[in-house]
Structure formats: C-alpha cells, structure tokens
C-alpha cells in the first residue's frame, strides 16, 4: 500500500477499478440509460454487467459537471476522479471530529486529526487518482459510527434522530456496497447487547435504526432497477434479498419493543432466552427464503475465479504469510501497529471511564471483529484503523495530561521544554509504527526481485493512437488486469476484466493463455472473434498461465519465448514497450 510514484503525470489512475468506473459514468452521461450497467466492450463480444451501484457514479458525475463545459466529458471525469478521494478524505476527517465529539474534549480533536492522517490503509483508500467507492464507504462508516456512539448513551424517549438517521446512513452504505453488511451487523449486535443488559431505550432504538435501513433499501430498489427487476435476487449488490433480511430483523425489534414492560422481559436471563429465540427465528427465515445469502457476496461466482482473483488482488491478501514471518510482522506493524498500545488502553477505558463506558464497549466490539478480519484480508484494515484512531488518541491525550500535571507557575524555559515534549509525544505516537515498519523492512530478504516494467498507461495509449491498430475496433485477448485500461483509453474491447460477474471472460482468458493444446486456445479466439492478442513478459498475473516444470509450454510461455503458433502473427512495437508482445490473429492458418 505504500505509494512510490504517482500515476498522475502519465494521466493514469491507481489500480483498475477507477478506469472501469469512469467508463461506466461516461456511458451514463452520454446515453442517459440509468438502468443499464453493462459495459459492452468488456467480456467481448458479450458485454459485462458490473455489480456496482449508482451513488458513487453520481458523486463523480456531479463533481465533474462544472468542468465539462471547459474540459469536455472525458477530461472532466478524469480530473475530478483524481481529486474526489482526497475531497472525501477531508469530509471524512470532519465527520470523524463530529463522531468522536462525545469521547473527547474539543481540544483533543486536533490530536485525533493528527493520528488519523498517519493511518496507511486510510491514506491508500483516499489516494489521489483513485476514483472508486471505498472512500465514500469510509465516510458513511464514520457517520454511522457517530450515531452509534450516541445511541450507546442514554437518550430521551422522544429522541428518534440518532437511531433513524444512523439507520439511513447505514442503508446508504449498503446501497454503495454490500460489504457494509458487516458494520450494520455490528451496530445491530451492539443494540441487541444493550437491550439484553439494560433494556432502556435500546429496543426502540433498534427498531428505529432498522426502519432507517429498510427505508433506504426500498429507495435503492426503486432507483437502481426498473420495475420489472425489483424482485431480482442478487448477493453482490443491494437487492430484494437485503430488504428481506432487514425486514426480518425489523420484525424482531418491533416484537421486542412491544414487549417492553412485560414480566417476561424483566430479568436479563429471560431477555437472553427471548433474544436467542428471536435471532434463531430471523436466521431461519432468511435461510428459508435465500439460503445462498450465508455463502457471502461471491455465492454465484465460480470458485476457480474467486481463488485466482483473491491471490492476485492486493486488498484481499492475507497479512499473515507463514513463509515470510518478517513480511507478516512488517505488514501488521504498518497497518495495525497502533493496536499493540491502543488495545490494552481500550480495556483500561472500558473499566475506568465510567462516563463513556458504553461507547468504548462499542469501539471494542468493532475492533474484536475488524482486527482479525484485517489479518485475513487487508481490505478490512480501513475499518480497523478508523476504530483504532479513537483509543490511540485517548492514550495520546492521557500522556499529554500526565505531562501537564503540576504545570502551574513555570518560567519561560520550562514552558518551552514542556511544549517540545508535547510535540515529541504527538509526533512519536503518530509515527512510531511507521518507523518500526521501515526497520523491519531493512531486515527482510528481498531477493533479486526487479520491478516489473509493464506500464499499461503507455501500452494502452499506443493501442489507442497507432494508426495500423485503429482501422477498426479490435477485440483484444489480454491479461485480466489489463482489460479496464484498454477499454478506458481506446475504442477497443477486451475479454477479461477483474470483476466477479465476468466469470466467463476471466475463465476464457485463463484457458486461452494457460492452454497447452493450441487447438483449444484457437477455438476460444475464434468463438469470441478475437483480432489481437497482447501480453507483458513481467506481468504480475503470469503465474496463472504457466505450466508445471515437466509439462509442455502453455500459449503464454510460447509467446514469451517468441514461439507463437502459425495463427498468431507478431506485430512490431517501439522500444519503450519492450516487455510487451502483440499479435494479430491470422484467419485460416494452421496450428
């Protein structure tokens, strides 16, 4: 996740998602076809319908709109795409100040900001030139957290705002991405635990919170789909499934709320029994209607695609690597290092900060889930860091308070020394684990690895501008992670794109390049009407396409060795593209 160079000078973006997102928004702006999420030039010639939803598209389109008369649609979208995540970063920072206000005195929020600006996972998701929905998800998570912290305290019975608005923000997060199911489940669990322990306002808060979610899910179904598709089942984007899930949860909360005051719910053990029964009822109802819901958002995705995709996508990698313990330690320190200090301090706060006891319990509940999940998949580190900021800042403020004890009448020299000490503490607490990461990195064995020189920003521009390649819109068989940029920069189409709904395109790409039987590879090319084949010798995903040591060469290996079959004609490339190989598919040639 460390950034070593910026893509902006090459008019490029970080990763692949940004390119496909801009292609999608450009299509929306030019066609006005709101309900059509199909990218025709992906999975060529069949097209690919992405699992993304419209809220982030609207953010991109709204921000680019003032620039369109000046720069044109494509350039306006690109430059707003460059700055949209940093803009959302600042909005998230202000949202964090608001969310944490019940935990800290106003002066302490400054230090909260300092700590938040040194969190690597957050900085990665908020990078310039990364126009995808992760930054929007982080903003919505912080807003929902703010309402959750306020719900953890006793509220007036007439105060419905935190619960209802918190649920609506959570519903919007689910609309953006179904990964928001987990934060929503955590808030629902926290409300349930509050009801078990204290009763109080928690049953009503749980009901209102879930009503907020249901209202937004209903709105999303109406807005995202034409009426004929309102009841379509989907697990990787918001659908009727999620309306059923939260409808069942709402039914539970309404029953609990109506039972408030009954003798049956007077004792905690009785509430526990009823709560377990209610939870079992909700889970059974969901399973009866949509059993695949419990298999996760990739329930309908080919297992081979999931395995290969996860192995080659940085954000879903595991932070634990048994073959490289030092690397595992470095990544833990880099992304989750503050937990080593913030975790014990959070335990102290839960036990001794009586005024904020319940809020710290909510923070602890989130960390219990997100820290282990981050070890499993790095993508969850964003949530873990957002939660770690809170107890880590509390520890920093406690150290500063300790330093200030007895600071009544002091001379100028003592005042300067104390200010220097405060600055050292703040700087040290903010950066200590980043520095430890660098130290551990120095001890790692990095071998003889050389940086791959597969600059798709250069290659895709060549494909878009070389006259001999633009006599028509070509169907290109290329590596999976190269498809989006080709589609964004040129008029050409690609087979593979790294999105779970493009299962057929991914498998055909793998089966083509990994084929040892040239006839099967040629059949794939013929069936899809492929005009051109392109690859890079040092591609990160090359391991997908290589045979065993004793097996015959695959198509990928034949092409990298300069031994193409007769039906592939090599095309010349400039020296700047020396690691790339480009071939025309020749009709009617032998194998």
Residue 53 has pLDDT above 60, yes or no: yes
Ranking 153-162, 285-294, 443-452, 556-565 by mean pLDDT, the lowest is 443-452
Kindly indicate the confidence band of residue 419, based on its pLDDT and cuts at 50, 70 and 90. confident
φ, ψ of residue 38 to 5 degrees: the values are -85, 130
Residue 450 has pLDDT above 50, yes or no: no
**Pairwise pLDDT comparison (423 vs 566), residue with the higher score:** 566
pLDDT in tens, 169-207: 999 999 999 999 999 999 999 999 888 887 667 888 999
pTM: 0.92
Per the listing, tokens 């028509």 go with 472
Kindly indicate the confidence band of residue 240, based on its pLDDT and cuts at 50, 70 and 90. very high
The predicted structure's pLDDT at residue 447: 53
Sequence spans of domains, the chain: 133-300, 456-585
The predicted structure's pLDDT at residue 225: 92
Residue 449 has pLDDT above 70, yes or no: no
**Pairwise pLDDT comparison (578 vs 80), residue with the higher score:** 80
State the average pLDDT for the chain.
88
- The listed CATH number (3.40.50.12610, 3.60.130.10, 2.40.30.260, 3.40.50.970) that belongs to domain 456-585: 3.40.50.12610
Looking at the chain, the whole-number percentage of residues with pLDDT higher than 90 is 59
Kindly indicate the confidence band of residue 154, based on its pLDDT and cuts at 50, 70 and 90. low
Distances (CA, A) of 441 to 325, 432, 435: 11, 14, 10
Rounded distance between C-alpha atoms, residue 355 and residue 525, angstroms: 67
pLDDT in tens, 74-120: 999 999 999 999 999 999 999 999 999 999 988 888 899 899 988 99
Distances (CA, A) of 433 to 93, 109, 386, 461: 21, 21, 16, 40
Where is mean pLDDT largest: 5-19, 435-449, 464-478, 549-563?
Answer: 464-478
Residue 373 has pLDDT above 70, yes or no: yes
Where is mean pLDDT largest: 26-35, 145-154, 317-326?
Answer: 26-35
Kindly indicate the confidence band of residue 588, based on its pLDDT and cuts at 50, 70 and 90. low
DSSP letters, 77-146, are HHHHHHHHHHHHHHHHHHHHHHHTTTTS-GGGHHHHHHHHTT-HHHHHHT-TT--STHHHHHHHHHHHHH
Residue 527 has pLDDT above 90, yes or no: yes
Residue 500 has pLDDT above 50, yes or no: yes
């Amino acid at each position: 996740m460390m950034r070593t160079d910026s893509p902006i000078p090459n008019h490029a973006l970080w990763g692949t998602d940004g390119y496909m997102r801009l292609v999608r928004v450009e299509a929306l702006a030019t066609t006005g076809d709101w309900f059509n999420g199909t990218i025709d030039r992906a999975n060529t010639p069949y097209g690919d319908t992405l699992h993304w939803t419209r809220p982030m598209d609207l953010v991109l389109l709204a921000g680019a709109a003032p620039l369109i008369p000046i720069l044109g649609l494509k350039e306006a979208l690109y430059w707003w795409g460059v700055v949209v995540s940093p803009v959302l970063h600042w909005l998230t920072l202000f949202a964090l100040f608001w969310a944490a206000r019940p935990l800290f005195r106003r002066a302490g929020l400054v230090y909260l900001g300092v700590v938040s600006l040194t969190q690597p996972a957050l900085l990665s998701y908020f990078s310039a030139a990364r126009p995808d929905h992760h930054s929007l998800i982080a903003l919505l998570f912080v807003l929902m957290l703010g309402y959750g912290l306020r719900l953890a305290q006793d509220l007036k019975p007439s105060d419905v705002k935190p619960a209802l608005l918190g649920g609506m923000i959570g519903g919007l997060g689910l609309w953006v991405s179904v990964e928001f199911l987990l934060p929503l489940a955590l808030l629902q669990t926290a409300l349930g635990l509050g009801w078990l322990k204290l009763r109080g306002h928690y049953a009503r808060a749980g009901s209102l919170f879930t009503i907020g979610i249901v209202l937004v899910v209903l709105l999303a179904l109406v807005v995202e789909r034409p009426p004929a598709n309102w009841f379509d089942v989907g697990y990787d984007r918001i659908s009727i499934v999620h309306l059923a899930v939260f409808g069942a949860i709402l039914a539970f909360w309404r029953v609990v709320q109506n039972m408030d005051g009954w003798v049956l719910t007077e004792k905690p053990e009785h509430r526990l029994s009823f709560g377990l029964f209610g939870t079992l009822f909700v889970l059974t109802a969901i399973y009866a209607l949509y059993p695949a819901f419990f298999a996760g958002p990739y329930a309908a995705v080919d297992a081979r695609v999931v395995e290969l995709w996860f192995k080659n996508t940085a954000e879903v990698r595991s932070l634990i690597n048994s073959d490289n313990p030092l690397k595992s330690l470095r990544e833990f320190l880099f992304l989750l290092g503050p937990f080593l200090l913030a975790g014990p301090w959070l335990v102290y706060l839960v036990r001794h900060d009586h005024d904020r006891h319940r809020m710290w319990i909510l923070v602890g509940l989130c960390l219990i889930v997100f820290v282990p999940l981050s070890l499993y998949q790095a993508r969850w580190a964003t949530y873990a860091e957002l939660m770690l900021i809170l107890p880590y800042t509390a520890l920093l403020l406690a150290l500063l308070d300790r330093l200030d004890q007895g600071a009544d009448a002091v001379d100028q020299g003592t005042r300067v020394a104390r200010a220097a000490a405060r600055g050292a503490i703040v700087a040290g607490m903010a950066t200590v684990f980043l520095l430890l990461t660098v130290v551990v990195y120095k001890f790692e064995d990095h071998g003889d690895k050389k940086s791959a020189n597969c600059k798709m920003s250069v290659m895709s521009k060549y494909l878009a501008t070389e006259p001999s390649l633009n006599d028509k819109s070509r169907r290109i068989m290329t590596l999976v992670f190269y498809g989006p940029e080709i589609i964004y920069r040129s008029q050409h189409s690609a087979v593979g794109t790294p999105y779970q709904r493009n299962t057929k395109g991914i498998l055909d790409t793998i089966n083509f390049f990994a084929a040892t039987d040239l006839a099967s590879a040629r059949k794939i090319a013929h069936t899809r009407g492929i005009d051109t084949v392109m690859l890079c010798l040092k591609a990160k995903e090359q391991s997908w396409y290589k045979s065993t040591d004793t097996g015959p060469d695959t198509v990928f290996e034949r092409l990298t060795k300069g031994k193409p079959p007769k039906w592939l004609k090599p095309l010349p490339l400039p020296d700047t593209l020396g690691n790339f190989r480009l071939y025309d598919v020749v009709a009617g040639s032998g194998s």
